[in-house]
A and B are shown apart, each in its own frame.
Chain A
Amino acid sequence: MSTEGEVLVLGGGGAGCSAALHLAQRGVKVVLLERGLVGSQASGVNYGGVRQQGRNPAELPIARRSRELWGRLKDITGTEAEFTVTGHLKLARSDAEEAELIAYLDVAKQHDLPLRMVGRNAIHREYPWLGPAVVAGSFAPEDGSANPRLLAPALAQAARAAGAEIREHTTIVAQHHAAGQFELVSGAGETFRAPVLLNMAGFWGGAVAEAFGEPVPVKPLSPNMAVTEPVPYFIEPNLGVVGGNVYLRQIPRGNVIIGGGHGESDPAVPWARPLPEVTLEMLDLAVQLVPELAGAQVIRSWSGIDGKMPDGIPVIGPSRTTPGLFHAFGFSGHGFQLGPAIGAIMSELVLDGRTDIPLDAFRIDRFQPAA
């Protein structure tokens, strides 16, 4: 059996589903191939932070564009995926961390990202439930959070409605490029052909890139996530810390979602689990930030697999080896917020040959030694 398209998207995370949606909206015959269900790995199991502050400056133009799409998500997909603008409060627990927050204010200003420093006197007055370990914070009022379990499926559903073909349970076992056509073969023996291929396969995107002669040093990354039982709602902002070893947010239903550190995984299965020791350590860190969490019960924990690049920012842009191939993978644990914009950017790269967003920092050959 064989399926022809104009664009094949490999990987049904938030970014891949958004790419399928944006391409289909512009009349492209697009086929998205996903090994499991859409949003099963990094896009579906992550913390759900819709955060701009603290990002690598190179990511901020993408984050700004994505934030605009998040604001229209309900119009785009029919659901806001529980996106709530709670603000993101990044906390410092030492002088050095506070200095980092202050230094970032300039970065934010350059990218028109609203950001407000909450100093030593104000932080405990404004957020009386913060523990004594916290010395300062910076507050990004436009940031917030959403439900990661809904984003990719909702984008995929919208893409279907726009005419995209979303093929779940389709594992690709071989890929070739010849005579201007990509040919991908599934485990069930089905062939998919198109002149354009978008490699948006998360950690597994590394293997795809390698198959086309441009290997990158991508490693699996498994966020260590847990959630508490519902407790009375009191933590409004999405909380992070300088250094990122713990992050937490509370949803109005009362559950507190806590992340920190990394779990164990086997991408070959694929299989991922939080590590008990890491869970206990991140709970210790969480309760230092918010002492009132002591005694609340953790009711579930989970993990999934993302791709981590050595410099912590993704690969985005055209292949250097294969015309018609474009990459967007290796989001290194913070791609959820970017997903909607990545799809838009990829559609522009394919259809317009350009995008307004500067992508040079993300080029795939940046890890090769200079000639």
Chain B
Amino acid sequence: MRLHRLRDADRPRIALTLDGRTIEAQQGDTLLTALLAADAGHLRRSEFGDGERAGFCLMGACQDCWVAVEGLGRVRACATPAEAGMAVKRG
């Protein structure tokens, strides 16, 4: 999945990492936006072997966008502001 920046797409850049790899994002992004507008493709993998997941409701209800952020613990990517320097792990 790749989010397509349609509007307001030239905000100050921030850098974070996903599983150790640098991801460029923009100020004001949620973690979900930051990762999926870059080339992360997905946010987690189903525990039950049925494939990748990348969120679904984007409003904190479906519980399908959990990722781990160093220092913050596990968070819903759709409801967590992306911040420069965040170290994110999938799942």
| A/B: CB atoms within 8 Å of each other | yes
Q: Which residues of A contact B (CB under 8 A)?
A: 230, 253-254, 295, 297
How many angstroms between the C-alpha atoms of A253 and B47 in the bound complex?
8
| Set A254, A295, A297: member contacting B47, Cβ < 8 A | A254
**B73 at interface, CB cutoff 8 A:** yes
Please give me the residue from chain A that is nearest to B74 by CB atom: A295
* CB contacts between A and B, total, < 8 Å: 10
When chains A and B are docked, how far (Å) is the Cα of A253 from the Cα of B48?
Answer: 8
Cross-chain pairs A/B with CB under 8 angstroms, 10 sampled: A230-B47, A230-B48, A253-B47, A253-B48, A254-B47, A295-B68, A295-B73, A295-B74, A297-B66, A297-B74
Cβ contacts under 8 Å, B47 to chain A: 230, 253-254
A74 vs B48: C-alpha distance when bound (angstroms): 25
Q: What does the 1/0 interface line of B36-51 toward A look like (CB < 8 Å)?
A: 0000000000011000
Please give the distance in Å from B7's CB to the nearest CB on chain A: 34
User: Which B residues lie at the A interface, using CB under 8 A?
Assistant: 47-48, 66, 68, 73-74
B-chain residues with CB within 8 Å of residue A230 when the two chains form the complex: 47-48
A295 to B66, CA, bound (A): 12
Give the chain A neighbours of B74 by CB distance below 8 A: 295, 297
Knowing that A230-B47, A230-B48, A295-B68 are A-B contacts, what are 7 other residue pairs whose CB atoms are under 8 Å apart, sorted by A's residue number? Answer: A253-B47, A253-B48, A254-B47, A295-B73, A295-B74, A297-B66, A297-B74
**Bound Cα distance from A230 to B68, whole angstroms:** 15
Cα distance A282–B48 in the bound complex, in angstroms: 28
For the complex formed, measure the closest distance between the CB of B77 and the CB atoms of chain A, giving whole angstroms: 14
Chain B residues contacting A253 (CB-CB under 8 Å) are 47-48
CA of A254 to CA of B48, assembled, Å: 10
Measured in the bound complex, the distance between the Cα atoms of B73 and A295 in whole Å is 6
Give the residues in chain B near A254, CB-CB below 8 Å: 47
- A254 to B66, alpha carbons, bound, how many Å? 16
Shortest distance from the beta carbon of B30 to any chain A beta carbon, whole Å: 19
User: Which of B47, B48, B66, B73 is the most central at the interface, judged by chain A CB atoms within 10 Å of its CB?
Assistant: B47
Least Cβ distance of A121 to chain B in Å? Answer: 33
Closest 10 pairs (CB-CB, A-B): A230-B47, A295-B73, A254-B47, A295-B74, A297-B74, A253-B48, A253-B47, A230-B48, A297-B66, A295-B68
Closest to A254 in B: B47
